[in-house]
Structure 1
Amino acid sequence: MFRGNQCAYYLKIESTTDIGLLLAILPSNIAGYIIGQDPVRISVIWCKIQLMSSYSFGLYSLFTICFLAFDQYLSTNHRQNWRHISTLKLAYRLTYFNISIALIHGILFLVFAEIGPLGCTVYHPTINFYLFLILSPRYRNQVKHFFIKIIRRSWTRLSNPRLTIPRHNQIAPEPAQASAFIIESV
């Protein structure tokens, strides 16, 4: 029933990503419960792999929601030619783009993650500034609200179309009649 539907495709991708995020975080918690120590604080390799996978899956999940909102905007747009852009092929292309961005983002954690006094995190100041811009809740909310506004605007245009009233060509009065009308009204 849902084959060929972009929304169902995005739902499958989002569910898979969320399961991947859980699988990236839970093994260290389970191992920490069994061993008695958190393996992320002991092993640098475990630290780097967990940070890379959890942040990659998290960013991928966020971008998937943004691309879903963009797809909804296209599919509910009042312009007919924009509705035709919303296809499953576009969803596949956005998914490949999303994978590449999430992997590049995750590689930063693989390279710069360290175990320090605050635990397993990135201590490089330039990378921290970059991560603040990407992972800050303020910016995520701005992106979310931007997509909500454009979808709401598109939906109201689609559900409440403005009626265009055709203007009839009015017959202009004769110049003599127009001047007589002006003189009489004064």
Structure 2
Amino acid sequence: MWKLCSKGFDKGNYQRKPSPSVWCPLRFTLDELYNGVEKRIKFTGEHMKLLPDPCAISPNAEPETLVVNIPPGAKNGLRVVYPSRVILDDRKVPGDVIVDVIEEPHAEFHRQGKDLWAIRKIPLTEYVTKEALTIETLDKRLLTIPKTEPGCVMEIPNEGMPCWHGFGKTGSLFVSFEVIYPKNLSLTREEKDELKKLLAKEENDV
């Protein structure tokens, strides 16, 4: 008759519960997601310990800080997992650190997949007097755009979001213009007559 022998088994192995995962939602501006960004999460407290990165070339100067690198073009909802990096409550088996990317709304640009959409608000004087218009991109470049009628949408290829995983093409930028008309405009009779002449000439030239 066979007997089950427990000799040689470490009963402690069955009691080693892994540390639970630590969830870290991080908010990013659209500018940061467009250009890529590095952020740091500091782990403090007597019940939490961050383990060093085993793949790091050089030791971390801040042992309690996790360096999070977000590539250009990272999308909203992207989840980055740092496996076996944190120990909670003196447990022997480390748990994962999970970083979720949360995209904050932008004042001018709206993201749809790889494409960017923007409504450029411009004063009436700028729209009337300039042959071309400009828009500042998320990496602070100025793009010169031919003037179109208000409300018309123009597509600019390769000026959308980069492809964060390195495969595929950059998206497009779609731009439309909204003219801001002056409020409470006060003109003299002579100025009104001159304005009528200018507008009539412009209409005849169309």
TM-score range normalised by the length of the shorter chain: under 0.3
**Richer in strand (by share):** 2
Return the structure number with greater relative CO, CA threshold 8 A, min gap 6: 1
TM-score after normalising by structure 1:
0.26
More helix by share: 1
